[in-house]
Amino acid sequence: MSAIELRKVCKKFEQANKQLRNLRVLDNISLKAKKGEFIAVFGPNGCGKTTLLNIIAGIEKSSSGSVRIDGKCPALAKVGFVFQNYNESMLPWRTALGNIELAMEGQKISKKDRMRIAEHYLKKVGLSRHKNKYFYELSGGMKQLIAICRAFAYDPDILLMDEPFSSLDYSTTRKMELELLNVWRETAKTTIFVSHDIDEAVFLADKVIVFSKRPARVKGIIEIDLPRPRKLEMLSSKAFIRIRNKMLRLSEYET
Ligand SMILES: Nc1ncnc2c1ncn2[C@@H]1O[C@H](COP(=O)(O)OP(=O)(O)O)[C@@H](O)[C@H]1O
Ligand SMILES: [Mg+2]
């Protein structure tokens, strides 16, 4: 059984102005993720990537088609979600540690264990020395790493990440990706990571699903056969550039 399976998922949004036709966003999306797989969904802005994640998480309903997580409908699955804008989901008046711990409140885990788990993830991403800082005191990259730690600490069945690094500069983004892979490697959570950054998608994933412009269709699925652990030097390797070019040919960006 696949950890995540989408079959022919379509999504149309009704327009507020009834004169306008429904907005077609997802067109027959089928995809599968095996347990422990890291899938990147790569597509242009506005093509429907966030909508796809919302449907997998059960936040939004598809117009047709089916979504299964470990064979269950999304409402019954434990889904970790890292949003594009960290400020929407984190508490500025709590510390770094306090925000991660929040994921475990309401679960049957003692305060002591919650702190231990939160500290463990902070250490994994190299932020131990910032543990007692308030969330608002941290940089954008650190904030997203805290959001990522929180999603892992929740111990979900699957993890969904919506362009978590899209507001960061190139080199900070690459550093954050390495930290993310550090944590991911330990837990091997099935992950769907949405991105409009070609280097990011190739660097992180086992498999990249290339979306077209809206309405998003699957244009192709590319296996990333780069070894793990991934290293920054790989960004300039022949294998990386070969995969990158293949993706460029598949995507809208080809000339
Ligand atoms: N709740 C909604 N109601 C109507 N239109 C929406 C809604 N959510 C997203 N859209 C539209 O659907 C399209 C795809 O949006 P989105 O999934 O956010 O794209 P992406 O994440 O790939 O940038 C956009 O044109 C957006 O305006
Ligand atoms: Mg989006």
Each residue's pLDDT tens digit, 84-143: 987 778 999 999 999 999 999 988 999 999 999 999 999 999 999 999 999 999 999 999
User: What span, in angstroms and rounded, lies between the C-alpha atoms of 161 and 189?
Assistant: 12
Residues with CB under 6 A from ligand 1: 13, 23, 25, 43, 45-51, 214
| pLDDT score at 254 | 44
Query: Which of the ligands is closest to the CA of residue 46?
Result: 1
Query: Which of the ligands is closest to the CA of residue 51?
Result: 1
Closest ligand 1 atom to residue 162 Cα is: 21
> Rounded mean pLDDT of the chain?
94
Single pTM value for the model: 0.95
Nearest CA, atom 18, ligand 1: 50
Pick the CATH number of 4-250 from 1.10.10.10, 3.40.50.300, 3.40.50.450, 3.40.190.10: 3.40.50.300
- Best residue among 51, 88, 192, 214 to mutate for probing ligand 1, ranked by most atoms within 8 Å of CB: 51
User: What span, in angstroms and rounded, lies between the C-alpha atoms of 164 and 83?
Assistant: 6
Q: What percent of the chain has pLDDT over 70?
A: 98
| pLDDT score at 251 | 85
Locate the domains of the chain by residue range: 4-250
